[in-house]
Chain A
Amino acid sequence: MTALLGDYTLQNVMLGAALIGVISGVLGSFAVLRRESLLGDTLSHAALPGICLGFIVTGVRDMGSLLAGALFTAVVAALLMVGLTRRTRLKTDAGLAIMLSLGFALGVVLLTWIQNRGGAAQAGLDSFLFGQAAATTRADLLPMALLTAVALSGVVMLWKPLKLMSFDPEFAAVMGLPVRRIERLLTAMIALAVVVGLQMVGVVLMTAMIIAPGAAARQWAGSLLGMVLLAAGFGATAGISGGLISTLGPGLATGPVVVLVATALALVSLLIAPRRGLLPAWWRRRRRRSHTSTEQILQTVYELAREHGDWRYRVEQGAVDAYHGMITEPQLATLADRGLLISTEHMPDEGPHWRLTEKGQGHAAEQAKRRNERRRWRVRA
């Protein structure tokens, strides 16, 4: 019996967490691409008063009305934010922080208002701060699934304009797209994603669920479709594993655990993703360094000198570094040891400079001639 009960809770948790992961991954991708990552933060904090309003209006802890209230105040906060930044000299960051903090303050006030008056039914509202997956019931899942379906179909219908606006908003406006209206729709859909996650992740941490899966997917994917699908996968993985872990450990709020899993996914992606990852990039730089011969660097110095019409021209070490995208000092020192370059002072405080010796000039010219011949052959062939 207890096993069955546990199983039932577990099923709810996994279903709910998967829904949250998918919807926040998909919509978060657009937020991350459009540099609006922190919009999710404001929306989720501003959803708290809505939850309380939903409860005050209906008087019961009904998921549908709570989420409707949350959606309402989140969207109102977003609209106020846009209005404030468009009509004054306050910037977006200030607008976001203002609506976030005032929204949350209002939520706290309403929460204590309910607590100081309410009966037993108010007990559940507190769990919206940090989320409590184990409290999810089958009845809670239905509104969550509905909202997810609405948001996802919105993304599918608006796919083309959303894509254009994520990569080139100016061009989208020139094309005659109703950019502002679509922006508002996107904001509303992100609010939907936030609202779906409130029950399990909580208002404080939903922001991470909007950002982390999208940021992780961005490192792997080469196309928008790939990124969105991957983000949905990452989000679902984080949601399900975090939800499961939190039901195992007693008293562990779900939100923090889910967020830590999602953050770990994002960090690992930052490190190891094949093309953008930091470790592969470091590896490539190392390889390039070991494959860039001293001869190539001598050629660079020679070409720079030739461009200036003076083979005694003093080339800045920084310029050679920048050209090769690596530290070239060891190779330059080797060339100096071979008597092809000498280190010179240009002006005080201007960093090390190098110039060709007579021997170096002859050697480099010889190499350049050979290289040009090779190139000519290749062009003919």
Chain B
Amino acid sequence: MSGLANPTIAILLTGMLVGMAGALLGSFLVLRGNSMLADAISHSILFGIALAWLATGETSGAVQIAGAALSGVLAVFLIETLARSRRLRDDAAIGLVFPALFSIGVVLINVFARDVHLDEHTVLLGEIGFVWLDTVTVAGLVVPRALLASATLLLVDALFVLAFYNALKLATFDPGLARALGLAPGLVFYAHLSLLSGTAVAAFDAVGVVLFVTFVVVPPAAAYLLCRRLSSLIAVAMLIAVASAPLGYGAALWLDVSVGGAMALATAPFLVGAFSWRRWRERRRYRAAQPPAVSASSSA
């Protein structure tokens, strides 16, 4: 058994890779004020996963990931179309689209795939504890399938962000200027969200889609409280995600609970820490700005 197929290493590595990919893409989402799209996309991919399974009889593989990722893009497209009709606000459009796609996915699975490995609980909650059981051999190395998928997606995400860093940055902070400069913020937005849905599909085996949302939203939000520069925000967010995986894994072993859930929950202390640090610094700065006489008289 090669090192990568060792259960502990496989679980930890998969968690870290999924967390890094989620935090990387999530940074732009949180900054743009679209965090709930992560929730919408990650629910909607169940529809794509169910369809891909019906078409090919497989739930994992490049074609399945791409196909299921399309359903995340479909969800974004439907949300935008509904919101553009101006009959619904965009929050209501989000809340109308993703439960519907998710429901269709659940019904399809219930009706056609009753006794297959695929069920909505797995998609929702993931089974990271079992990722080492399902392996493929690549270039003589035995690699867990979920590990391979999340490593590939992280690589693709990182290449995308590096290649289009400036376009992404501008589309996030000033879409108007990006449009004026001919950078097509809409296209960047869709490319970013299709990668996000692809990563969600790759992650569903491991942490489950709802817990994937945690990795997308919480580390960037914590980093947002600590950093001023986009590049450092992304770096800190990815670090938090990486640190959460072993932390959560340890807690899960200790308490005998869901590994994916514990890994996701392990991001919470970082958010609390960032929040407290920020409050502490603000208070100190506030005190420093107060002339001493005033503070003396107010305390008297």
Q: How many residues on the B side are at the interface (Cβ–Cβ under 8 A)?
A: 59
Contacts of B267 in A (CB 8 A): 102
Is A260 interfacial (CB 8 A cutoff)? yes
Binds B, one of A7-15, A56-64, A249-257, A317-325: A249-257
Q: Are A38 and B91 in contact (CB under 8 A)?
A: yes
Q: Are A101 and B121 in contact (CB under 8 A)?
A: no
Contact pattern, A 92-112, Cβ under 8 Å of B = 1, otherwise 0 = 011011101110111111111
Q: Are A105 and B214 in contact (CB under 8 A)?
A: yes
Closest residue of chain B to A100 (Cβ to Cβ) is B39
Q: Are B265 and A205 in contact (CB under 8 A)?
A: no
Contacts of A212 in B (CB 8 A): 95-96, 99
B91 contact from A35, A94, A205, Cβ within 8 A: A35
B106 contact from A112, A130, A207, Cβ within 8 A: A130
CB-contacts of A241-266 with B (<8 A): 249, 251-253, 255-257, 259-260, 263, 266
Closest residue of chain A to B94 (Cβ to Cβ) is A38
Contacts of A193 in B (CB 8 A): none
Is A141 interfacial (CB 8 A cutoff)? no
Contacts of A218 in B (CB 8 A): 87-88
Q: Are B39 and A251 in contact (CB under 8 A)?
A: no
Q: Are A266 and B257 in contact (CB under 8 A)?
A: no
B36 contact from A41, A88, A252, A255, Cβ within 8 A: A41
Main secondary structure of the interface of B (DSSP, over half): helix
B278 contact from A88, A214, A266, Cβ within 8 A: A88
Total A-B residue contacts, Cβ distance less than 8 Å: 189
Q: Are A102 and B94 in contact (CB under 8 A)?
A: no
Contact pattern, B 92-136, Cβ under 8 Å of A = 1, otherwise 0 = 101110011011101100110010000011001100000000000
Q: Are A102 and B87 in contact (CB under 8 A)?
A: no
Contacts of B16 in A (CB 8 A): none
Cα distance A260–B111 in the bound complex, in angstroms = 15
A102 contact from B39, B43, B107, B264, Cβ within 8 A: B264
Is B179 interfacial (CB 8 A cutoff)? no
Is A45 interfacial (CB 8 A cutoff)? yes
Binds A, one of B5-13, B54-62, B218-226: B218-226
Q: Are B257 and A109 in contact (CB under 8 A)?
A: yes
Contacts of A106 in B (CB 8 A): 261, 265
Q: How far is the CB of A100 from chain B (nearest CB, A)?
A: 6
Contacts of A260 in B (CB 8 A): 100, 103-104, 107
Contacts of B278 in A (CB 8 A): 88
Cα distance A101–B26 in the bound complex, in angstroms = 13
B225 contact from A41, A88, A107, A207, Cβ within 8 A: A88
Taking A90-B225, A108-B125 as contacts, is the C-beta distance between A101 and B264 under 8 angstroms?
A: yes
Cα distance A218–B217 in the bound complex, in angstroms = 31
Taking A35-B89, A260-B100 as contacts, is the C-beta distance between A105 and B264 under 8 angstroms?
A: yes
Q: Are B103 and A205 in contact (CB under 8 A)?
A: yes
Closest residue of chain A to B271 (Cβ to Cβ) is A98
Contacts of B211 in A (CB 8 A): 101, 104-105, 108
Contacts of A97 in B (CB 8 A): 35-36, 38-39, 213, 216-217
Is B34 interfacial (CB 8 A cutoff)? yes
Is B210 interfacial (CB 8 A cutoff)? yes
Q: Are A113 and B36 in contact (CB under 8 A)?
A: no
Q: Are A32 and B261 in contact (CB under 8 A)?
A: no
A101 contact from B100, B210, B225, Cβ within 8 A: B210
Is B189 interfacial (CB 8 A cutoff)? no
Is B188 interfacial (CB 8 A cutoff)? no
CB-contacts of A145-173 with B (<8 A): none
Q: How far is the CB of B220 from chain A (nearest CB, A)?
A: 8
Q: Taking each of B38, B99, B217, B262, which has the highest tally of chain A beta carbons within 10 Å of its own beta carbon?
A: B99
Q: Are B120 and A130 in contact (CB under 8 A)?
A: yes
Taking A219-B87, A256-B107 as contacts, is the C-beta distance between A93 and B36 under 8 angstroms?
A: yes
Q: Are A257 and B36 in contact (CB under 8 A)?
A: no
Closest residue of chain B to A269 (Cβ to Cβ) is B87
Taking A37-B94, A101-B210, A278-B85 as contacts, is the C-beta distance between A111 and B258 under 8 angstroms?
A: yes
Contacts of B99 in A (CB 8 A): 204-205, 207-208, 212, 259, 263
Is A36 interfacial (CB 8 A cutoff)? yes
CB-contacts of B187-240 with A (<8 A): 208, 210-211, 213-214, 216-218, 221, 224-225
Q: Are A204 and B124 in contact (CB under 8 A)?
A: yes
Q: Are A109 and B96 in contact (CB under 8 A)?
A: no
CB-contacts of A93-144 with B (<8 A): 93-94, 96-98, 100-102, 104-113, 116-117, 126, 129-130
Cα distance A40–B98 in the bound complex, in angstroms = 14
Cα distance A41–B39 in the bound complex, in angstroms = 9
Q: Are B35 and A116 in contact (CB under 8 A)?
A: no
Q: Are A263 and B100 in contact (CB under 8 A)?
A: yes
Q: Are A89 and B125 in contact (CB under 8 A)?
A: no
Is A195 interfacial (CB 8 A cutoff)? no
Taking A94-B30, A113-B256, A270-B88 as contacts, is the C-beta distance between A252 and B261 under 8 angstroms?
A: no
Contacts of A45 in B (CB 8 A): 210
Contacts of B104 in A (CB 8 A): 256, 260
Is B255 interfacial (CB 8 A cutoff)? yes
A88 contact from B213, B255, B275, Cβ within 8 A: B275
Is A84 interfacial (CB 8 A cutoff)? yes
Q: Taking each of B92, B107, B252, B267, which has the highest tally of chain A beta carbons within 10 Å of its own beta carbon?
A: B92
Q: Are A207 and B95 in contact (CB under 8 A)?
A: yes
Q: Are B91 and A36 in contact (CB under 8 A)?
A: yes
Taking A84-B275, A89-B224, A101-B214 as contacts, is the C-beta distance between A270 and B95 under 8 angstroms?
A: no
Contacts of B252 in A (CB 8 A): 109
Q: How far is the CB of A348 from chain B (nearest CB, A)?
A: 18
Q: Are B95 and A37 in contact (CB under 8 A)?
A: yes
Q: Are B102 and A215 in contact (CB under 8 A)?
A: no
Cα distance A101–B220 in the bound complex, in angstroms = 13
Other A-B pairs, 13, CB within 8 Å; known A111-B258, A257-B103? A38-B94, A41-B39, A41-B95, A90-B221, A90-B224, A97-B36, A97-B39, A98-B35, A101-B39, A102-B264, A113-B256, A249-B111, A251-B114
A-B contact pairs, 8 of them (CB 8 A): A35-B92, A101-B213, A105-B265, A106-B265, A108-B261, A208-B103, A212-B95, A278-B87
Instruction: Identify the 3 closest CB pairs spanning chains A and B, nearest first.
Output: A208-B99, A108-B261, A256-B103
